[in-house]
Amino acid sequence: MTDLRTHLRGLWLPLITPFRNGELDEVSLRRLVRHYGSLPIDGMILAATTGEGLTLAPDETARLVTIVRDEVSGIREELPVCLGLSGSDTRELLDTLERTAGWPIDGYLISCPYYSRPTQTGMIRHFSALADQATHPVMIYNIPYRTGVNLGNDAMLQLAEHPNIAGLKDCCAIRAQSIELQRKRPARFAVLSGEDAHTYDALVDGADGAILASAHIETDAFASVIQLLTSGNHDAALRRWQTVSHLTKLLFSEPSPAPIKHWLWRTGLIDSPELRLPMTEVSPELAMQLDREIAARANAAATATAAAHSRSH
């Protein structure tokens, strides 16, 4: 287990949840964790939006966490693992926090209440109550286009003073709001971008890192963008970003995580691209686009390897 506050930076992966024949695919899950645990990610989020957390039964979520922690412990003991939670009933979420208090996780990513569209005061009280109860630190997930409500900066800055609220996954999609928050936030409050297509801009504006579903693909490249920007090498970071930026659009051209699951299935990381309703697999048209992109990247990698081998001889 790690201190989440010292790890909220860099590249975080909101891990997909593999299914097969309607069940949690534990074999593919272990394969995924071993794969990504060997790559330069700084943390994992489980059972959030990309992980289809709303379709998981409580016992499945418990198994998911146990399997991931088991695999992570054998690879990178210090890699933090957070659990995604969502809901519009504060009491129910408090019960969930109590039920998961002893789970082998390092923190929670909790989205703003959806559908009910509470006031800013309501959200301050909601997150304060959750943070008071939580055994592990809390990250807030502000994503208005999914929840129907935007947690504004006045409320966010009040919550940032809570000792058990460690940071934010920022998907507000309002750049001016994000920039203002970067300027006013306390030093101990981390901000990670969650807008895949706008990651580069968010990092330039001062985000501490990013939680990127797109980083299931070309993980090294996305990690290097963040590392290069952190070291001040903006020109190299931009060049690197330009090699992967179109993936952030392709992988979201139909509802996520269907395109990502198709890619991982085609490349052998998971045994099925299965999703749970109401999510469905990608259309035949997008499947063809993804397959072409996979083939093109495989050919480019093979060419680069051959060229490197030739130069070494």
Catalytic residues: 141, 169
Distance CA 91, CA 9 (A): 31
Q: How many CB atoms lie within 10 A of CB 252?
A: 17
- Which residue type, as a one-letter code, is found at position 251? L
Distance CA 19, CA 2 (A): 29
Distance CA 192, CA 170 (A): 6
| Contact assessment for residue 45 and residue 79, using Cβ atoms and an 8 Å cutoff | no
Distance CA 260, CA 278 (A): 17
| Contact assessment for residue 163 and residue 189, using Cβ atoms and an 8 Å cutoff | no
- Secondary structure of 33-91 in HEC code, one letter for each residue: HHHHHCCCCCEEEECCCCCCHHHCCHHHHHHHHHHHHHHHHCCCCCCCEEEEECCCCHH
DSSP-derived 3-state class of residue 12: strand
| Contact assessment for residue 199 and residue 225, using Cβ atoms and an 8 Å cutoff | yes
Q: Please tell me what DSSP assigns to residue 140.
A: E
Q: Please tell me what DSSP assigns to residue 252.
A: T
Measured between alpha carbons, how far apart are the two ends of the chain, in Å? 46
Distance CA 230, CA 226 (A): 6
